[in-house]
Amino acid sequence: MSPRQRAAVGRNHQRIQTYLKTPPAGPSARKQTRETYRLFGKYLVDFFRYSVSDKHGLENRVTMEGEEYLTEALACGRGVLLATAHVGNWELGGLILALRGYPLTVAYRPMSSPRVNRMFLEQRQHRGLDPVPLGRAAISLVRALRKGRIAAVLADRDFSENPFPTPFFGAPARLPRGPATLSFRTGAPLLPGFMLRQPNGNFRLAFFPKIDPKQFDSIEAVQVELVHSLETVIGENPTQWFVFDDFWSDGRTSSLQTKGEGAYG
């Protein structure tokens, strides 16, 4: 219902497609924007659907690709920092890993409403996840990594007060440096992973090869590698990237999006 947000989604798509040299035009651009909202609606439905119904029914709808990358990263013995994004259905990706026996600690941004925040927190705990709020997450994530657990973070939205612009689809954007910093300082490999909706309504949980911080000489170099994976997945699935403000305007989120982000973060 917000013309401003619809226009922002369209501009985000235009930035991505222009960088990839496949810019949408006219009705095609409007169709992409509408599809983004349609898929986000499905994300919300699935979030609650698999909270009240048989969670194991989800497993029949998911194909996992690159699980060997996850196994290899865990074998390093330093824990694994799973980096994902607001793409597809990241919440259900965590549920699938928990159902398959992977110990998972997840960082989340609390909602402004205590009641709604409690609801989402209980949903995550019910799924077997160990959720920790941003602001106090660093220590909990480090502890999880030292125990050899998987610590999951969202790597495409930065809510800190200290922006570090990063080239993203050909223009500076405000992306969080936390995942790259935590990986570099703890030695835990970064593992990009994304739960993507397929045309038939099923899902594909895809992992990329690990990013081993020991092979890089700086946080910035680790960040570049992580951004490459984000560009690949978002570029291939722009209508599954759920960002409803102008991502490249100044790298900051609008007040409306910031208030609501905790529902998805």
Count of CB atoms situated within 10 Å of the CB of 94? 25
- Domain range summary for the chain, segments of one domain joined by +: 3-263
Residues recorded for the chain? 265
Could you give the CA distance from residue 201 to residue 198 in angstroms, rounded to a whole number? 5
Angle in degrees, 0-180, between the axes of helices 27-52 and 3-19, rounded to the nearest 10:
110
Return the HEC string of 116-185: HHHHHHHHHHHCCCEEEECCCHHHHHHHHHHCCCEEEEECCCCCCCCCCEEEECCEEEECCCHHHHHHHH
pLDDT per residue as tens digits for the range 256-265: 333 334 333 4
pLDDT per residue as tens digits for the range 13-26: 999 999 999 876 66
What would the two tokens of residue 207 be?
């992992």
Q: How confident is the model at residue 51 (pLDDT cuts 50, 70, 90)?
A: low
Percent of the chain with pLDDT over 90: 62
Could you give the CA distance from residue 105 to residue 138 in angstroms, rounded to a whole number? 11
What would the two tokens of residue 212 be?
């081993």
pLDDT per residue as tens digits for the range 68-114: 999 999 999 999 999 999 999 998 998 899 888 898 898 877 666 67
| Mean pLDDT computed over 216-225 | 96
| Parallel, antiparallel or unpaired: strands 190-197 and 203-207 | antiparallel
